[in-house]
Chain A
Amino acid sequence: MSEQVSIEEKEILEALLKEVRESAQKEAEKILKEAEEKAKEILKEAEARAEEELRKKIERIKKRVRSEVSSKIALEKMRIRREYLMEKERIIEDLLSEVSEKIRGLIEKDTEKYKLCLLNLIIEAALNMQNEKLFVVTTKRDTKLVEEILPEAEKLLLEKYSRKVKLRLAEEKIEALGGVILRDENSREMYNNTIEARINRVKTEVLPKILSEIVR
């Protein structure tokens, strides 16, 4: 084929060459652009990985430090909490001492009020027991007062609470600030309503509620 190329064919050739050149250029640009983007992505991922690795490294060290001193910290925290509880207990004991003093004052100076208190203590104790024949144990000092109260207590138990209970003064005496202990004949069933027992009950049942109310 040795025919001469016409002008028209020359133009076609040039167009073809241009097409090949441009297409290669475009493809090269595309390859480079993709590479740049991938490079950016690699660096971005590296940043994230570095942050994560740094975080993990620091966390590992912190964890190691904590585990090394954990028993020491626990002991120190326990010591602080124990001191707090002891101080709280002291405050409560001071408060209850004041209450005891007031009660002592009432017993000494206001016999009528104390008599009413004894009556209520006997009734409350009897209502919390099953037996119908109960013995009332009291202090030597309160023996006479309790003896006077027993008929009224029986009457109130029957009329107000429909409980027929026989109350007898026990021969034995107790050492207490005041109040009574009720027991059945064989001392199998007992109810301690001495002032000390009531103070203890108040300490564990009533006082925590009051304290949590006032320091809210």
Chain B
Amino acid sequence: MDEVGFISILIEEERKAELIIENAKKKAEEIIEEAKRKAKALIEEKTKINEDEIIEKELKYIEKEVEELKKKLDTDISNLREQINKKKADIVNMLLQHILLLGEKYE
């Protein structure tokens, strides 16, 4: 092989190398494009919702909220009634002392 042949081989190898890199770049672009397509599909798929179902769920939640308030206040009233009944004599005496200004236990 003479020097011309030597250089030709080198140039040919350089061309092949460039082709390899060029192909890799093309493949990389394809990978990214594919990822973008998948991402778009993923977003579309994952953000699909059944609006009626959500509305129904929310209405049920609101209904439950109102029921819970009623339940809480009913419990408060029962507790108040129970506690008043339990301590009625003491409460009445306290009130009598405040009203009559007798400064002592009435009864």
Contacts and interface: CB of A to CB of B under 8 A. Distances in A.
Contact of B36 (A2, A42, A214): A42
A5 B31 contact: no
A199 B100 CA distance: 9
Contacts of B14: 20
Contacts of A96: 95
Contact of A95 (B18, B27, B92): B92
A65 B32 contact: no
Interface in A157-184: none
Contact of B83 (A76, A121, A214): A214
B6 A53 contact: no
Nearest to B14: A20
Interface residues of B, number: 69
B66 to A, nearest CB: 5
A34 B23 CA distance: 14
Interface residues of A, number: 76
Interface string B17-34: 110110111011101101
Interface in A66-105: 66, 69, 73, 76-77, 80-81, 83-84, 87-88, 91, 95-96, 98-99, 102-103
Interface in B1-59: 1-6, 9-10, 13-14, 16-18, 20-21, 23-25, 27-29, 31-32, 34-36, 38-40, 42-43, 45-47, 49, 51, 54-55, 58-59
A50 B3 CA distance: 62
Given A28-B20, A214-B83, A20 B13 contact: yes
A199 to B, nearest CB: 6
Contacts of A51: 46
Nearest to B77: A87
Given A65-B58, A84-B73, A95-B92, A32 B28 contact: yes
Leading 7 A-B pairs by shortest Cβ distance? A24-B17, A35-B28, A39-B35, A46-B39, A28-B24, A50-B46, A120-B101
26 contacts: A1-B2, A5-B3, A13-B9, A20-B14, A21-B13, A23-B17, A35-B32, A38-B32, A38-B35, A43-B38, A53-B43, A61-B55, A66-B62, A80-B73, A81-B69, A84-B73, A91-B84, A96-B95, A98-B92, A99-B99, A117-B100, A120-B100, A124-B101, A202-B95, A210-B94, A215-B80
